[in-house]
Amino acid sequence: MSAGSPESSAASGRRVLALVLPELLCELLEKRLLWGLQRGKAKPPLGVVLASTASAQVAGSEKSLDATALSFAAVNESARRYGVREGQSIAEACALVASLVVREVTQAEVLETLSCIAEVGLSLGATVAVEAPDTVCIDITGSAHLQGGELALACEFANRVRGMGHSVRVAISDGPRLAKAFAHWFTPEAADPEDRGVCLVPSNRTALAFSALPVTALPLSRDTAAWFVRLGVFTVGELNALPKAALGSRLGDAAASVSELCAGRDRAPLVAYTPERTVSESSAWDEPVTGTEPLLFVLGGLVSRVSARLTGRGEAAHSLVLTLLYDPAIARFRGEKAEQVLRFKLATPLHRADEMRRVLRARLARTKLGAPSLGMRLSVPKLLPAVARQLELSQVLAGVTVSASADDEIPVLIAELSAELGEEKVGTLKLVDSHRPEAKSKLSPASFEPAARSSAKQGRLRKTEPSFAELPGAPTRLLSEPCELHGPLRVGVSLAIDRSLYTIEHLRFEQRLDAVEWWGHAPVTRDYVRLWLQGASGGFEAVAFVDRMTGRRYLHALAD
């Protein structure tokens, strides 16, 4: 179908990309049913009913559906083989396939998915629009060359959406309705192999290409289109050849728009999609899951979708929240909460799927489920602008476009460690100006944000006066908890430390900390002494203190 260069078509006027998700409803249901786990197995026949938001809240299974009143909005390939078609009622379809799986998908779910895909397209064009029930349009006028041309742009977008687990059809034409029609009805087999499955319609051939599409590609009601087919008018070209006056009376209000489309003109505006300030992806399934293996599989999909959306926005996640939804009845029975929230504070903003997956996987894999899981939600509560990774020219010339230096890896590694060990155990050790030895360093959350660096620089400006840590022969190892010594601190006294006996060979008063931080809750009052302890296996120098309030003695540090 393609002919002519993208540049020439782009120069002629508006260019719109339409991405249609023909299997969207079925994909949503399959995701919910975790059919992705059943690799190699044939998928059972499935019929999808599109419901309003209100009814979806009560619709948990096919039993609650009205089999005669509801009709299918979509069916999968297996069901289609049995003769089940869209528009059939549930009763009709079940008469053909008794094992037909029937589920509801809400309009909200559909819109949410389309919104996610729209976010992926935000970085590709000026305006992105969501057109329910299955299309996302992007105005790529003047921006296609940034991606290497219209074809490259369309392929990039299609690949990203396929990475989110959707099958797609993509077309580019002069308007949204035209592009959507081409995306819906073009036959990949008939398309140019060089177009890699994308329908690229040049501006000067739009009318001709459109005339080859079926009548159902026009914005006509189902009955009108069926009537034309019954008359033997199958294509748009055949319809366009009919007398205009007679056609106008038959089409009514739609006549003008149909005439415009047939002439290859489409001035329909795009209603810009505005993304929410938070990103959230969720997945739910009907059969409770008890192990983490299926969850890791679902996590992969969630991360891919979140990553694609973030990339489209040009933003990155400052933190991640993974929520595991449990079976409420079992959770209540076990005394657990209905959902478990895992929070991940990231050392640096992340937006790449593999990096986020590394961070999330480790903790999720060792999470013990409180109850069988029925769903999972991954959300990004705080977004920051994504910092572009600088490409190395030599690698680009060598064909390597994605690289990660050690500097880039460290924040990811820290985030991974934080997720695995706990945020409170991973960070950067900062020096603190304090008299108390135990307060001289502090584990701070690792942060690689520019703001943190500037504050650190400010901190360096302040010159602090020396104290304990700068004393000659300052202790090199501080005990995490002072070890109480049972015995007076005098030369010749033997002390039991860690199941070994040591004798004080030398003792010297060092420093008095008195009324230090008296304004706080626990002012420190200590006399520090330096000891030389001699044991059977050798001796070492240590720092001990006497708590002046209680008179108790503690070993506090070792001086190697």
Partner 1 sequence: MFAELLACSSFSFLRGASHPEELVKRAKKLGLSAIAVCDRGGLYGSVKAFNQARESEQRSVTGAELTLANAHGRATHKPHRAEEQCPTLALLCETHAGYQNLCRLLTLSHADRSKGESALDLGWLNAHSEGLLALIPAPRKPMDSSTPSPEFLNKVRAAFGERLALVMYRHHDGFDDARLAWVLDASKRYELRVIASARPLFHHASRKKLCDVLHAIRLGTTLDRAGTLLASNAEAYLRSEAQMLQLFPDHPEWVEAAGEISEVLRFQLSELKYQFPCTLEEGESADEKLARLTWAGLSARYPKGAPRAVSEQAQKELTLIAGMKVAPYFLSTWEVVEMARKRRILCQGRGSAANSAVCYAIGITAVDPTRSNLLFERFLSVKRNEPPDIDIDFEHERREEVIQDIYARHGRERAAMVSEVICYRGKSALREVGKVFGLSLEQIARLSGTITHRDCDEVSSQRLREMGFDERDGRIRQILELAHELDGFPRHLSIHVGGFVLSAAPLYEGAPIEPARMANRTVVPWDKDDIETLKFFKIDVLGLGMLQAVKGQPWLLIIGFLAYAIAFAKIGCLPKKSH
Stretch that binds partner 1, among 128-136, 232-240, 342-350, 462-470 (CB under 8 A): 462-470
Query: In the complex, what is the shortest distance from the CB of residue 432 to partner 1, in angstroms, rounded to a whole number?
Result: 7
Taking the complex as a whole, how short is the minimal distance between the CB of residue 431 and partner 1, in angstroms?
A: 10
Interacting positions 492-551 with partner 1 (CB under 8 A): 509-519, 521, 528
**Which one of 434, 482, 544, 557 is in contact with partner 1 (CB under 8 A)?**
434
Instruction: Mark residues 385-424: x for contact with partner 1 by CB under 8 A, - for none.
Output: ----------------------------------------
Among residues 53, 68, 395, 464, the one that binds partner 1 under rule CB under 8 A: 464
| Residue among 435, 445, 503, 532 that touches partner 1 (CB under 8 A) | 435
> Total number of residues binding partner 1 (CB under 8 A)?
25
- Does 432 contact partner 1 by CB under 8 A? yes
Take residue 458 and report the two structure tokens written for it. 């400010």
Is residue 467 at the binding interface for partner 1, with CB under 8 A as the rule? yes
Residue 503 Cβ vs partner 1, minimum distance, rounded to whole Å: 24
Q: Give the separation between CA 479 and CA 492, rounded to whole angstroms.
A: 24
Exposed/middle/buried for residue 394 (C-beta within 10 Å: 0-12, 13-18, 19+): exposed
For partner 1, the closer CB: 232 or 551? 551
Exposure on the CB side of residue 452, measured as CA atoms within 13 A: 10
When binding is defined by CB under 8 A, the residue of 40, 399, 450, 472 that contacts partner 1 is 472
Q: Cβ 458 to partner 1, closest distance in Å?
A: 12
Cis peptide before 133 (omega within 30 of 0): yes
Closest distance to partner 1 from the beta carbon of 347 (Å): 26
Residue 387 or 507: the one with the smaller Cβ distance to partner 1 is 507
Q: Tell me the residue length of the chain.
A: 560
- Examine residue 473 and tell whether it contacts partner 1 (CB under 8 A): no
Distance CA 184, CA 168 (A): 10
Q: How far is the CB of 468 from partner 1 (least distance, A)?
A: 6
Query: Looking at beta carbons only, is 192 or 547 nearer to partner 1?
Result: 547
Which residues in 130-169 contact partner 1 (CB under 8 A)?
none
What six digits make up the tokens of 48?
């999808």
Give the nearer residue to partner 1 in terms of CB position, either 375 or 475.
Answer: 475
DSSP assignment letter at 147: G
Least separation in angstroms between CB 491 and partner 1: 17
Distances (CA, A) of 388 to 119, 152, 314, 404: 18, 21, 9, 12
| Sign of the dihedral defined by the CA atoms of residues 305, 306, 307, 312, in that order | positive
Calpha distance 102→389 (Å, rounded): 46
* Closest to partner 1 by CB, 454 or 464: 464
Interatomic CA distance for residues 296 and 279, integer angstroms: 20
Q: How far is the CB of 470 from partner 1 (least distance, A)?
A: 8
Give the H/E segment covering residue 56: helix 53-58
In the set 63, 222, 463, 499, which binds partner 1 (CB under 8 A)?
A: 463
Q: What angle do CA 158, 159, 164 make, to 5 degrees?
A: 95
CA dihedral 529, 532, 535, 539 (to 10 degrees): 130
Name residues whose C-beta falls within 8 Å of residue 529's C-beta, 6 or more positions apart in sequence.
489, 507, 508, 509, 510, 543, 544, 545, 546
Compare residues 107 and 467 and give the one whose CB is closer to partner 1.
467
Least separation, in Å, of the C-beta of 555 and partner 1? 18
CA–CA gap between residue 48 and residue 77 (Å, rounded): 12
Report which DSSP code applies to 498: T
> Where do contacts with partner 1 occur on this chain (CB under 8 A)?
432-435, 463-468, 471-472, 509-519, 521, 528
